[in-house]
Amino acid sequence: MFSCVSLGDSQNICVLQLAQQLTPLDVFLGLMAAAAHDVDHPGVNQPFLIKTRHHLASLYQNTSVLESHHWRSTVGMLRESGLLSHLSADISLDIEQQLGSLILATDINRQNEFLMTLREHLDNQDMDLQLVAHRHFILQIALKCADVCNPCRDWKLSRQWSERVCEEFYRQGDLEKKFDLEISPLCDQQTDSIPAIQIGFISYIVEPLFEEWQRFTAPSMLSQIMMGHLHKNKACWSRLRYVHTAAETKTHLHPGDPELEEGHKEAEDIP
C-alpha cells in the first residue's frame, strides 16, 4: 500500500508505504476495530430502533446507536477478557477511546464529513503520517473502506454478500409491515430490487470513497484492482436491473423476446 506523504518542507513523496508509517499500536487498533465494528448487530438499522423505541436508541440518545453499541460491547468484552490488563489504566482507557473513535466513524450518516475532510487533505497535499492525528484519520478512512468494500471484490463473491444484505433489509421491511410501521427506504421487497439497491450503494457511498482512497494510495496496485472490480460489478448490476425492469414491466420486451431471454441467460452467470 503506497501513500502520498508530506515530508518537512512540503515535498510530496508518493512512494512510502503506509504500512511502514503505522506503529504496532495503530495496526492493533485497526485490526481490533475491524473485527469488532459490527459486534452484536441486531440486523435492523438505526431508524428502526428509534421508531420501535428500542432500549439501545434511548441509551445512546438516537445518535450512532448501533456503532455505540458495537463499541461499548467490545469494551465490555475487552475488560472481561483481561486482554489489556497488563497495560496501565491510562493506556487501556486510551485504547478504548481510540477504538470508539474508529468504530463510530463507520456510521454511514457521517460519510460526507469524512469524505470532505479526506478530499481537503488530498487537495492541499498536507497529509503527514508522522502526526498521530493524521494516522488516526487514515485508520478511520481505511476502516470505512473495509466496511463498504464488498462491491470491490470479485463478482461471484460480491454478489452473494449483496444478496445477503438485501435479505436483511427485506426482513426489516417485513417486520415493519407486520407491525404496521412505515417501510424504511430500501426495505420493501416489492419496490426495491437488489440491483437498484446495489447501484445506489455503489454510486453514492462506495465509489466516491474509493476514488479518494485510490488518490491517497497514489494509486496502489491493490486499489486499482478494487476499482476494476467496482466498475465491473456496477455494470453487472446495471444489466441485471435492466433484465429485472424489463421482466417487471414487460412494456418493451415480452417473454420469448430474444433480448429478454438473452438477458436472463446472462443474469445467471454475469459477467
Q: Which of 26, 147, 176, 192 binds Zn ion (CB under 5 A)?
A: 147
- Of 37-45, 166-174, 200-208, 216-224, which segment contacts Zn ion by CB under 5 A? 37-45
User: How many residues lie near Zn ion (CB under 5 A)?
Assistant: 2
Would you give the binding string for Zn ion spanning residues 181-220, x where CB under 5 A is met? ----------------------------------------
Q: Report d(CA 267, CA 240) in Å as an integer.
A: 6
Q: Rounded to the nearest whole angstrom, what is the least distance from the CB of residue 105 to Zn ion in the complex?
A: 11
Cβ atoms within 10 Å of 61's Cβ, excluding its own:
9
Report residue 271 as a C-alpha cell: 459477467
Q: Name the phi and psi angles at 235, rounded to 5.
A: -65, -40
Beta carbon nearer to Zn ion, 147 or 176:
147
Ranges within 65-84 binding Zn ion (CB under 5 A)? none
Whether 162 contacts 148, CB under 8 Å: no
Q: Rounded to the nearest whole angstrom, what is the least distance from the CB of residue 57 to Zn ion in the complex?
A: 19
Q: Report d(CA 252, CA 86) in Å as an integer.
A: 68
Q: Report d(CA 21, CA 122) in Å as an integer.
A: 17
Q: Rounded to the nearest whole angstrom, what is the least distance from the CB of residue 136 to Zn ion in the complex?
A: 19
Q: Rounded to the nearest whole angstrom, what is the least distance from the CB of residue 50 to Zn ion in the complex?
A: 19
Among candidate residues 147, 137, 73, 140, the one with its CA nearest the CA of residue 105: 140
Beta carbon nearer to Zn ion, 38 or 207:
38
Q: Report d(CA 72, CA 78) in Å as an integer.
A: 10
Q: Rounded to the nearest whole angstrom, what is the least distance from the CB of residue 147 to Zn ion in the complex?
A: 4
Report residue 134 as a C-alpha cell: 493524521
Q: Which of 38, 188, 207, 211 binds Zn ion (CB under 5 A)?
A: 38
| CB neighbour list of residue 164: distance below 8 Å, 6 or more residues apart | none
Beta carbon nearer to Zn ion, 165 or 267:
165
List contacts with Zn ion (CB under 5 A): 38, 147
